[in-house]
Amino acid sequence: MKHAIVMGGSMAGLVAARVLSDCFDKVTLVEQDVFPLKAENRRGVPQGRHTHGLLAGGRQALEQLFPGLSEQAVREGAAAGDIAGKSRWFVEGGCMAQFESGLTALAMSRPFLENLVRQRVLQIPNVTSRQGTHVDRLMFRQDFRRVIGIMCGTEAIAADLVIDATGRGSRTPQWLEAAGYQRPREERVEVSLGYTTRHFRRRASDLNGDIAVVIPPTPDGKRGGVMVAQEAERWTVTLIGHFGHYAPEDLEGFIEFARTLPAPYIFESIRNAEPVSEPASARFPASIRRRYEKLARFPEAYLVTGDAICSFNPIYGQGMSVAALEGLELQRWLRSGATDARGFFSRISNIVDIPWNIAVGSDLRIPETVGPRNARVKFINWYMAKLHRAAHGDPVPALAFHTVANLLTTPAAVLDPRVAWRVLCRGPLCRGSRPQIGAGLQRVRLKPDPTTQPTV
């Protein structure tokens, strides 16, 4: 346990390096980009220009790994607010109930958050970075049963453990195949997503002080949008479309696209707002999940994490939070003394299942989406539509939705009897009773955090 290498210096790699620093004498973070000195976009993270979200579950996880990070973020400019009380979620024709849930949201840009985490990681004495360094291949022991390092050009760097956190473009499948292993099976859900992002000056009067608007695409219109408060008194606005319904980059066309959304909140906020950045557009053809946990053989001393395992539809804002939760699972796996990578992948699969099913299930509501539809998916989508409608005026199903969407509990929470009664019957279990949340909503997956405990 002398030397560990992490390939990739984005959120998943930074979190992995932080965890490894507790168990190894030396950790080397290898990144082909050069890290900026402040919170700026960089070439290796093109998604950084677009709207990002840190879910409550991800915030809890980062807070465990980097104590005081939330307070530091707010102190340096991030906007903080209650996820249910200070955001507008427009679904099934109306806004979900707004109330004080006790679930704290932090609104900030991806470069801002990544810079805070990167500063923390690079200050750890036994963590060093190799920037501007391209990894060409893995080094294996002679029998190919164990990874013993990496090759960067002609330079060999030996290690006792190597982790791939290089993201969606990971070359691990090709490297495995070249070494005589099977490639992991891939699951794909074709969403044909396109999105354009602009930033605007944020005024105190906007949204009466709310810090976020979420308008998911509908099966018919296929258009949606997200507007989130940022540091430096800005809004980041991302307009979303599926299967050719893409927002233009020019300001007039962008605002006109916002006018066509199912709810007026984004349009009304930006139609007379001051733009403060150039537009950025991106295409996302498909969500991809690589099933490493299904492989019969896998080399020792090698792991994969982050988007290199599962690349989610970005409109759900799950990626950074899942990377943080996977970091905690890596910590537990290392402390258990386990060495079989398949056991690690099994643990990670349990984490990925929830956000993957949330994203894929929602995407499959759009008829053109290409992916496996079965009776379970159809039932969940039918039930969730009813839950969203019930949540327009009832905080109990709304809270159930927020705790699941924020990765604080399992999807079973939305089927808790107290929630299901309100969804299916549109009323409290007993007439005149005080709204209560079911036991399923209390089973958060992380250590209790007094700033994120749900209260209704």
In this predicted structure, the answer to whether residue 65 has a pLDDT above a threshold of 90 is: yes
Are 316 and 253 found together in one domain? no
Neighbouring C-alpha atoms within 13 Å toward the C-beta of 405: 21
In a domain, 449, yes or no: no
Among 147-161, 406-420, 440-454, which is the least confidently predicted range? 440-454
Q: Residues 266-281: pLDDT tens digits? A: 999 999 999 999 999 9
- Average pLDDT over all residues of the chain: 92
Span 281-293, mean pLDDT? Answer: 97
Are 259 and 399 found together in one domain? no
Distance separating alpha carbons of residues 406 and 325, to the nearest angstrom: 12
Span 234-262, mean pLDDT? Answer: 97
Q: Are strands 3-7 and 26-31 parallel, antiparallel or unpaired?
A: parallel
In a domain, 66, yes or no: yes
Q: What percent of the chain has pLDDT over 70?
A: 93
Distance separating alpha carbons of residues 188 and 5, to the nearest angstrom: 29
Among 39-43, 54-58, 98-102, which is the least confidently predicted range? 39-43
Q: Which CATH number does the domain housing residue 181 bear?
A: 3.50.50.60
In a domain, 369, yes or no: no
In a domain, 206, yes or no: yes
Q: Residues 154-183: pLDDT tens digits? A: 999 999 999 999 999 999 999 999 999 999
Q: For residue 413, which amino acid is it?
A: A
Distance separating alpha carbons of residues 84 and 98, to the nearest angstrom: 5
Are 102 and 112 found together in one domain? no
Which of 262, 285, 308 is at the close of a domain? Answer: 285
In a domain, 243, yes or no: yes
Q: Are 165 and 12 in contact (CB under 8 A)?
A: yes
Q: Residues 345-361: pLDDT tens digits? A: 999 999 999 999 999 99
What global pTM score does this model have?
0.92
- How many structural domains comprise the chain? 3
Are 101 and 112 found together in one domain? no
Are 16 and 61 found together in one domain? yes
Q: Residues 429-439: pLDDT tens digits? A: 433 333 444 43
In this predicted structure, the answer to whether residue 392 has a pLDDT above a threshold of 60 is: yes
Are 151 and 69 found together in one domain? yes
Domain encompassing residue 11: 3-80+108-187+288-358
Are 257 and 395 found together in one domain? no
In a domain, 452, yes or no: no
The residue with greater pLDDT, 111 or 451, is 111
Span 290-318, mean pLDDT? Answer: 96
Are 113 and 101 found together in one domain? no
Span 304-311, mean pLDDT? Answer: 97
Are 313 and 387 found together in one domain? no
Are 125 and 39 found together in one domain? yes
The residue with greater pLDDT, 322 or 37, is 322
Are 292 and 420 found together in one domain? no
Confidence of residue 105 (pLDDT cuts 50, 70, 90): confident
pLDDT of residue 41: 87
SS3 string, the chain, reads CCEEEEECCCHHHHHHHHHHCCCCCEEEEEECCCCCCCCCCCCCCHHHHCCCCECHHHHHHHHHHCCCHHHHHHHCCCEEEECCCCEEEEECCEECCCCCCCCEEEECCHHHHHHHHHHHHHCCCCEEEEECCCCCEEEECCCCCEEEEEEECCEEEECCEEEECCCCCCCHHHHHHHCCCCCCEEEEEEEEEEEEEEEEECCCCHHHHCCEEEECCCCCCCEEEEEEEECCCEEEEEEEEECCCCCCCCHHHHHHHHHCCCCCHHHHHHCCCCECCCCEEEEEEEEEEEEHHHCCCCCECEEECHHHCEECCHHHCCHHHHHHHHHHHHHHHHHCCCCCHHHHHHHHHHHHHHHHHHHHHHHCCCCCCECCCCHHHHHHHHHHHHHHHHCCCCHHHHHHHHHHHCCCCCHHHHHCHHHHHHHHHCCCCCCCCCCCCCHHHHCCCCCCCCCCCCCC
Span 356-378, mean pLDDT? Answer: 93
Span 108-126, mean pLDDT? Answer: 97
Are 281 and 200 found together in one domain? yes
pLDDT of residue 427: 56
Confidence of residue 39 (pLDDT cuts 50, 70, 90): confident
pLDDT of residue 47: 84
Which of 285, 315, 337 is at the close of a domain? Answer: 285
β-bridge partners, 197: 238, 280
pLDDT of residue 44: 80
Span 201-229, mean pLDDT? Answer: 95
Confidence of residue 43 (pLDDT cuts 50, 70, 90): confident
In a domain, 11, yes or no: yes
Q: Are strands 212-215 and 79-82 parallel, antiparallel or unpaired?
A: unpaired
Which of 299, 331, 358 is at the close of a domain? Answer: 358
In a domain, 341, yes or no: yes
β-bridge partners, 188: 288
Residue of 274, 309, 250, 320 whose CA lies nearest to 109: 320
